[in-house]
Amino acid sequence: MKKLLQTVQEVPAGKVKRRGTRLSARLTLAASVILAMLTLSACGNNTAGNSAAGANTAEAAGNASNASTASGADVPAVLNFGFIGSNKLNVPGGAEGWGFHKGIIQEELKKHGITEVKLTGFPNGPDQTESLISGRLDFGSLGDTPAIIAYASGAKTRFITQSSAHTVGYLIGKKDGPKTLKDLQGATIAIQKGSFMHRYIVGLLQQEGVTDYKLVHMLIPDATAALARGDVDALTNTGVPALKLIEQGYTHLDDSSAHPDLLGSSVTVVSEEYLEKFPDFPEVWNAAREKALADLQQHEEEYYEFLAEIGDTTPELAKQVSPISDIKDTAFTDDGFQLLEGTKAFLVQEKLAKKDFNISDWQLK
């Protein structure tokens, strides 16, 4: 077009009339060609832009879809976990506590869209099961006795892990009080109703032929104070707190390590409501727990220091009452299952559990 314009400018004035018709025709033709080229160019650019935009949109949609799949779009971002006990770190012991403490479990759960885990400690199992039934918790670890009692009463839970099968209960007598189990005839004993220790003391006294006694429900702090005042003759407790009472001069009447059938176990249960949202949770949880246990086993001394911190004791005492060997490395074991069956049968017989059921129906593998 520039060349054509130059041609127009270079035509002498005297020749314009002679060439006017031909020049006009050339200009008209050139203008039409240029207009057509510009139109095609614009269309080409728009087509390319639309193609690129379409590709970018498809890629973004694909990435969003992949991210949604990887994070578990239907899984609630917040997971509510309950455990027994209270400490400054707000975590339980065992592989679960170590995994939360080191962030191992949180990292595994993030792969499935869970970005926050809220941990809540409870003074006993019955209180925890109430929170689970009401929906305030999604799942939790607690003693087998309250978990069984709750399920037999209609709680919609599923049993997904038995993390330990060697919980030892202690029977501690007041100073200058009973010296033997037979001395508990007519005695008042502080227990936590519906807990493992409830099952332990009833089973123990039944085996010993002690039939005349009174059980009163008290949380551990209240029971300890009552024992010190002499308001109760004995109490049941576990772990470091029980050993501390013995060190203070209270009478060690018995412990369930001498009665394998009266040992307790720790179970993990999840609500059916949460399972509807995350059906693969049991598999995910157990894999994360086993990963935490594998790490724990590589850091034994650090683990006992961790237990000492949450139990307000020494690593040596923590090792004595909670050895790593007591932690199960799989979700279910034959010996653990047998212990559960015995506990369940006892609770049904004593009418502490409302109805009988098959553990295998409760269990979710």
Which domain range does residue 39 map to? 2-71
Q: What does the alpha-carbon distance between residue 251 and residue 71 come to, in Å, rounded to a whole number?
A: 54
Whether 274 and 162 share a structural domain? yes
Arithmetic mean of pLDDT, 40-46: 40
Arithmetic mean of pLDDT, 167-180: 97
Which pLDDT belongs to residue 42? 38
- State how far the alpha carbon of 174 is from the alpha carbons of 189, 219, 239, 252, in Å: 10, 17, 18, 9
Total domains in the fold of the chain: 3
- The per-residue pLDDT for range 314-347, each reduced to its tens digit, is 999 999 999 999 999 999 999 999 999 999 999 9
Whether 175 and 61 share a structural domain? no
- The per-residue pLDDT for range 218-227, each reduced to its tens digit, is 999 999 999 9
Rg from Cα positions in the chain: 37
> In 3D, which of 343, 288, 286, 296 has the Cα closest to residue 323?
296
Which pLDDT belongs to residue 365? 83
Whether 151 and 127 share a structural domain? yes
- Among 230, 261, 292, the domain boundary falls at 261
- Among 51, 71, 91, the domain boundary falls at 71
Whether 162 and 177 share a structural domain? no
For 233-270, b/e burial (b = at least 16 CB within 10 A) is bbbbbbbbbbbbbeeeebbebbbbeeeeebbbbbbbbb
Q: What does the alpha-carbon distance between residue 253 and residue 353 come to, in Å, rounded to a whole number?
A: 27
Whether 102 and 92 share a structural domain? yes
Arithmetic mean of pLDDT, 69-93: 85
- Among 71, 90, 120, the domain boundary falls at 71
At 134, which CATH number? 3.40.190.10
- Whether the per-residue pLDDT at 239 is higher than 70: the answer is yes
Point out the least confidently predicted range of 47-61, 96-110, 127-141, 188-202: 47-61
Residues present in the chain in total: 365
